[in-house]
Amino acid sequence: MQSFDLEAQGLRALNSALNAQSSETNQTVWEVVNAKGSHAIAVGLDAPIEVNIKGSTGYYCGGMNKQATIHVHGSAGPGTGENMMSGKIIIEGDASQYLGATAHGGLIVVKGNASSRCGISMKGVNIVVQGNIGHMSAFMGQSGNLVVCGDAGDALGDSCYEARFFVRGSVKSLGADCVKKEMRPEHIEFLNDIIAESGVDAKPEDFTRYGSSRTLYNFDVDNAGAY
Amino acid sequence: MCGIVGLFLKDPSLEPMLGDMLTDMLVTMTDRGPDSAGIAIYGGETTGYAKLTVQSDTPEDDFAELDIDLRKRVKGKVSITVKDTHAVIEMQADQVAAARAALTEIRPNVSVMSHGESLEIFKEVGLPKDVAARFDVRGMSGTHGIGHTRMATESAVTTMGAHPFNTGPDQCLVHNGSLSNHNSLRRRLRRLGVHIETENDTEVGAAYLTWKMQEGATLGEAMESALEDLDGFFTFVVGTKDGFGVVRDPIACKPAVMAETDQYVAFGSEYRALVNLPGIENARVWEPEPATVYFWSHNDGPTAKEKAA
């Protein structure tokens, strides 16, 4: 295992070292200590490596991630996993604003709560939150799934496209064009799989699905495959 | 962008370290606000006495013999402690109005930064570490304090545009964000006779709270009505003689993190500002909810009151 002291060695050196890893690397497990809320930890990774960050992180941890598994053993700051393409981010504590903004793929798991604008403009990422999420979550969400085991704040899914939202608890209010939808067998099956993969504590049958009523944008069923 | 830090001590044994801890927090927030910095500190008080913290661009001229000149105009003892461009003048509490009136005549270039029994405000243009060093903030002790690092967006980089702003006796305000209706609100308040010195948006926010309290509102009520009357982005942290409060606008895009232990309640624009506080690893850390007024006070327990957006 590679160990990296962020305070002593610096952020630029850390990200250079992580960015230098390829899919053939044998340095597959990394540990980062003294994170102390620093910004932009482990951004732009593109290798199937595992990065364990001890402590809390600041802005944009794991941004643009491809392939890597980033495990934050603390809470994560604003914009964590922004524009992630693939891979996995696990946050043991809480996540701040706009978690997984514009993210195209991969999985983000939050063991605590996520703040406002969780999954804003999500474009294919799956986000699973054990606790609650804040207001304006999944605003303009285009694709992907937001699974919330707790409650959702105001204006969930405002102006959303084809992203799906599964909430176990209450929703304070739904945003414009976001409506409650029926749970079909494929949704139960999806939840079964993602709950197992995320390691959160929930039963698929307890969730309610929400999504776009497709009245705010020009939805044409012939284009459904584009989402 | 701006940076806010705040520290409210529950454990009196930390009081001698307040300035030191706040300075570390403030300097960490330099990249959120490198153009000016300020600190409001609630230090010791003498019963029956009050403090005016004043500022001058030419302290050698303005502060020379200021105590002697003031003694001719106000009753009782007057003492002065000069710290760089600022000076703390202590006098009998009932003489503050007389002293302020006298100052405008005998030292017209001096600005009042704060007034109150325990509050002192120090603020200047420059990097936070330099500002803190000029006033020797590290050496200050106190029960609680608030600091601000500014990245100006709405008005000029000047001493008077720096934060904190004094909103009333022993009360102050710092702001991260930008108010979009400050021009119309400034005109409205000026018509009502409220003195507003600069074109700064936060000063309007501070003047608004002062005016509301003069009209009979408590600070908590004034902060709740701010949610109605102020348009724009804000995370406000306010200091009072025995506590501090936090309120964020309903959209709450300006960051805020709080931490609480048995020893203190701390506020930071980012978690980075809190990482060196004692026992932070086991503190309760959370983000204050939008449109919710929080208060901590030495006299009462903490309160959080949600105001519907």
Indicate which CATH number applies to the domain containing B84: 3.30.70.330
Q: Count the helices and strands in chain A (H runs, E runs).
A: 3, 11
Question: Domain-by-domain residue ranges, chain A?
Answer: 2-226
Which chain B residue lies closest to A133 (C-alpha atoms)? B289
**Residue B131 sits in the same domain as residue B265:** yes
Q: Which of B74, B98, B117 is the last residue of a domain?
A: B117
Instruction: Provide the β-strand partners of residue B40.
Output: B121, B146
Compute the nearest-CA separation of A202 from chain B (Å): 24
**Residue B107 sits in the same domain as residue B140:** no
Residue B175 has pLDDT above 70, yes or no: yes
| The two three-digit tokens of residue B192, written as one number | 């009502």
Among candidates B270, B271, B290 on the partner chain, residue whose Cβ is nearest the Cβ of A135: B290
Across chain A, what does the average pLDDT equal? 96
Q: Which of B172-176, B195-199, B298-302 has the lowest mean pLDDT?
A: B298-302
**Residue B31 sits in the same domain as residue B70:** no
Residue B301 has pLDDT above 70, yes or no: no
Q: Which of B1, B2, B174, B223 is catalytic?
A: B2
Decide if B2 is catalytic: yes
Question: What is the ipTM score, two decimals?
Answer: 0.90
pTM confidence score? 0.92
Beta strand segments in chain B, E: 2-9, 36-42, 49-55, 78-83, 86-92, 111-116, 119-125, 144-150, 165-168, 171-179, 232-240, 243-248, 257-260, 264-268, 284-286, 292-297, 303-306
**Residue B77 sits in the same domain as residue B215:** no
The pLDDT score that the predictor gives to residue B49 is 95
The pLDDT score that the predictor gives to residue A14 is 98
Among candidates A93, A96, A136 on the partner chain, residue whose Cβ is nearest the Cβ of B255: A96
Contacts of B274 in chain A (CB under 8 A): 37
Compute the nearest-CA separation of B256 from chain A (Å): 9
Tally of structural domains, chain B: 2
Across chain B, what does the average pLDDT equal? 93
Cβ pair A37:B290 closer than 8 A: no
Contacts of B286 in chain A (CB under 8 A): 94
Q: Band of the pLDDT at B309, cuts 50, 70, 90?
A: very low
B213-269 pLDDT, tens digit per residue, is 889 888 888 888 999 999 999 999 999 888 889 999 999 999 999 999 999 999 999
Among candidates B270, B285, B287 on the partner chain, residue whose Cβ is nearest the Cβ of A58: B270
Domain that holds residue B235: 2-43+122-306
CA distances from B80 to A191, B64, B87, B91, B92 (A): 69, 10, 7, 9, 13
Q: Which of B76, B95, B117 is the last residue of a domain?
A: B117
The closest of B136, B144, B215 to B174, measured between CA atoms, is B144
**Residue B28 sits in the same domain as residue B174:** yes
The pLDDT score that the predictor gives to residue A186 is 97
A34-60 pLDDT, tens digit per residue, is 999 999 999 999 999 999 999 999 999
Residues of A contacting chain B (CB within 8 angstroms): 36-38, 56, 58-59, 75, 77-78, 93-94, 96-97, 115-117, 134-136, 154
The pLDDT score that the predictor gives to residue A220 is 75
Q: Which of B117, B145, B164 is the last residue of a domain?
A: B117
| The two three-digit tokens of residue B276, written as one number | 């060196």
Residue whose pair of structure tokens reads 């008077």 in the numeric block: B160
Compute the nearest-CA separation of A111 from chain B (Å): 14
Which chain B residue lies closest to A112 (C-alpha atoms)? B286
CA-based R_g, chain A, Å: 17
Say how many CA atoms lie within 13 Å of B89 toward its Cβ: 35
d(CA B19, CA B25): 10
**Residue B65 sits in the same domain as residue B99:** yes
- Beta-carbon contacts of B59 under 8 Å, excluding residues fewer than 6 positions away, are B82, B84, B85, B86, B87
**Residue B222 sits in the same domain as residue B94:** no
Cβ pair A37:B272 closer than 8 A: yes
Q: Band of the pLDDT at B300, cuts 50, 70, 90?
A: low
User: CATH code at B243?
Assistant: 3.60.20.10
The pLDDT score that the predictor gives to residue A225 is 76
Among candidates A38, A75, A116 on the partner chain, residue whose Cβ is nearest the Cβ of B272: A38
Q: Band of the pLDDT at B303, cuts 50, 70, 90?
A: low
Q: Band of the pLDDT at B308, cuts 50, 70, 90?
A: very low
**Residue B19 sits in the same domain as residue B75:** no
Three-state DSSP class for A188? Answer: helix
Contacts of B255 in chain A (CB under 8 A): 77-78, 96-97
**Residue B146 sits in the same domain as residue B35:** yes
Cβ pair A37:B253 closer than 8 A: no
Question: How far is the first Cα of chain B from the last one, in angstroms, to the nearest whole number?
Answer: 23
Architecture field, domain A2-226: 3 Solenoid (2.160)
Tens-binned pLDDT, residue by residue, of chain A (227 aa):
999 999 999 999 999 999 999 999 999 999 999 999 999 999 999 999 999 999 999 999 999 999 999 999 999 999 999 999 999 999 999 999 999 999 999 999 999 999 999 999 999 999 999 999 999 999 999 999 999 999 999 999 999 999 999 999 999 999 999 999 999 999 999 999 999 999 999 999 999 999 999 988 777 777 777 76
The pLDDT score that the predictor gives to residue B304 is 64
**Residue B246 sits in the same domain as residue B293:** yes
- Phi/psi region, residue B170 (left: phi>0; alpha: psi -120 to 50; beta: rest), is left
Are B192 and B20 in contact by the 8 Å Cβ rule? The answer is no
d(CA A133, CA A157): 12
Residue B22 has pLDDT above 70, yes or no: yes
Compute the nearest-CA separation of A9 from chain B (Å): 17
Instruction: Please give the average per-residue pLDDT across B136-147, as a whole number.
Output: 96
Are B278 and B287 in contact by the 8 Å Cβ rule? The answer is no
Are A131 and A112 in contact by the 8 Å Cβ rule? The answer is yes
Mutate which: B285, B287, B292, vs A, most A CBs within 10 A? B287
Contacts of B272 in chain A (CB under 8 A): 36-38, 58
**Residue B107 sits in the same domain as residue B214:** no
Residue B167 has pLDDT above 90, yes or no: no
**Residue B110 sits in the same domain as residue B164:** no
